[in-house]
């Protein structure tokens, strides 16, 4: 009888954990051809069709039971500076690349509210006394069904094209290219 009570106690303690829904959150950075018509909410098959007119550059995903997710695609780059208070050089690492932060709230009607912050950063000039960076940052809120793909941000050329040429040698990028951050949250 004690073993049954112990089993029931363990089961009762773990049930809330089992009841929590796990999610798969995916972020994709895609280069699309200029002039490609974009729908901002798509079913997975429609998104796969959209990908045929472009090129998947990066993809990251995570499985979580949490309501906030952070994904980073890029590098941690050292920045050296002189700290006069300490009297010596210091090194600080900065994130350079694509960063996505998402919080999601399941709604009663089966949809998910995705609050998105997407940032693309790249060094602009390392020869200046202090390195400068190009930064593209976008915030959006999407209402999607589980599994649906939403476009969190779109940028056209400009910021980070030199960086993309550096991390994807052999590929050509222009200021006319369209870069899309697609995000989806799927209930598991």
pLDDT at residue 5 in the model:
44
**Could you tell me the pLDDT band of residue 79, with boundaries at 50, 70 and 90?**
confident
CA distance 171 to 35: 20
Burial class (CB in 10 A: 0-12, 13-18, 19+), 104: buried
Look over the chain and give the mean of its residue pLDDT values, rounded to a whole number: 77
Domain boundaries, the chain: 26-187
Residue scoring higher pLDDT (107 or 122)? 107
In contact, 135 and 95? CB cutoff 8 Å: no
CA distance 129 to 132: 9
140-172 residue pLDDT tens: 898 888 889 988 888 776 656 666 776 677 888
Query: Does the structure show a pLDDT above 70 at 110?
Result: yes
Residue scoring higher pLDDT (81 or 139)? 139
Q: 0.95 cut: is pTM over it?
A: no
């Amino acid at each position: 009888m004690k073993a049954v009570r112990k089993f029931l106690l363990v089961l009762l303690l773990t049930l809330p954990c089992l009841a929590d829904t796990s999610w798969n959150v995916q972020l994709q950075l895609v280069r699309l051809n200029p002039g490609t018509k974009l729908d901002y909410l798509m079913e997975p098959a429609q998104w796969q069709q959209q990908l045929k007119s472009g090129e998947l550059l990066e993809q990251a995903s995570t499985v979580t039971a949490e309501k906030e997710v952070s994904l980073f695609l890029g590098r941690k780059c050292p920045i050296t500076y002189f700290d006069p208070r300490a009297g010596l050089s210091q090194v600080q690492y900065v994130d350079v690349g694509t960063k996505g932060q998402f919080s999601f709230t399941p709604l009663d009607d089966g949809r998910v509210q995705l609050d998105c912050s997407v940032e693309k950063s790249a060094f602009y000039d390392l020869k200046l006394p202090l390195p400068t960076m190009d930064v593209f940052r976008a915030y959006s809120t999407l209402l999607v069904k589980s599994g649906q793909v939403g476009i969190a941000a779109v940028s056209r050329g400009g910021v980070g094209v030199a960086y993309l040429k550096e991390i994807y040698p052999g590929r050509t990028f222009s200021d006319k290219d369209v870069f899309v951050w697609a995000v989806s949250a799927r209930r598991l």
